[in-house]
Amino acid sequence: MNPRHASAAYLSAEDDDPHLVERMREGDDQELGRVYDRWSRAVYALVSQLLRDPDDADDVLEETFYQAWRHAGRYDPSRGAVSTWLLTIARTRALDRIRTRQRLREEPLTPGHDGEDLAERAGRTAVADPSAGPEEQERREHVLAALGTLPPEQRQVVELAYFAGLTQIEIAARTGQPLGTVKTRVRLAGQKLREKLGEYYRGREAR
């Protein structure tokens, strides 16, 4: 498939997301299936990364879309894309589960976050996942490229916050850096990611 065509199709598909959610809100189960087919891989990748347990990841995946279906009326397009909404639900559910697990088993809050470079691991798996569509590959490459532009210390705080669910205070304790330094790194990293990923999506819209 021509990647350009794939991107255009992907973009139009994303544009259609709010309409799918609107119809889902009216109780149309078929639209739930379409939203699931479009975003389940991204949600599953995220919760698998956070939970490191396939059965827990299965549960949170199902729970995420069930919650989205139940509360479709709460989706507000002015607050972000449908994918943002779904991934936020998924991440919140996964972190809740990690915290429950932590309480039950006294596990650390960073399950399996072994410090392996995420970009390196993601790149390796992308090659090993031929079923990922060209759109997913393209998006992943751009996000990894954006992460790659961050200095290592900024990338580290972003990964510890997003993929391990740590607060700035916890990151400071874990890395041994002053809290003020962590705050500055988070702020600078956020600005850069917004700029880089914003450029990418603006570029796609211009195609």
Partner 1 sequence: MTRPLNHDEASEALAAAALDALDGDEQAAVLLHAEACPICGPELAALRDAVANLAAAAPLPEGEIDSRLARARTRLLARVNADHADRPAGAPETAPGVRPLMIARPRGRFSLTPWVSLALAASVAGVAVLLRDRAALERQVAAARDSVGTLAATRAQLAERDSLVHRLTGPETVVVALAANRGPAASALMFWDRGANSWTMFARAVPPPPSGKTYQVWLVTPTAKISAGTFTPSPSGDAVVTATYPLDRDSLRAVAVTEEPAGGVPQPTGQLVMVGQAK
Q: Which 118-177 positions form the footprint of partner 1 (CB under 8 A)? A: 118-119, 121-122, 124-126, 128-129, 131-132, 136, 139-140, 142-144, 147, 158, 161-163, 165-169, 171
Q: Cβ closer to partner 1: 19 or 71? A: 71
3-state secondary structure of 109: coil
Q: Cβ closer to partner 1: 178 or 191? A: 191
Residue 15 engages partner 1 in binding (rule: CB under 8 A): no
Residue 117 — φ and ψ, nearest 5°?
-65, 120
For residue 13, what are its two tokens?
Answer: 């598909």
Q: Cβ closer to partner 1: 4 or 167? A: 167
DSSP per-residue letters across 127-138: HT-TTS-HHHHH
Kindly report the number of other CB atoms within 10 A of residue 15's CB atom.
11
Residues in region 74-103 near partner 1 by CB under 8 A: 74, 76, 78-81, 83-84, 87-88, 90-92, 95
Q: How far is the CB of 102 from partner 1 (least distance, A)?
A: 16
Which of 152, 183, 190 is CA-nearest to residue 169?
183
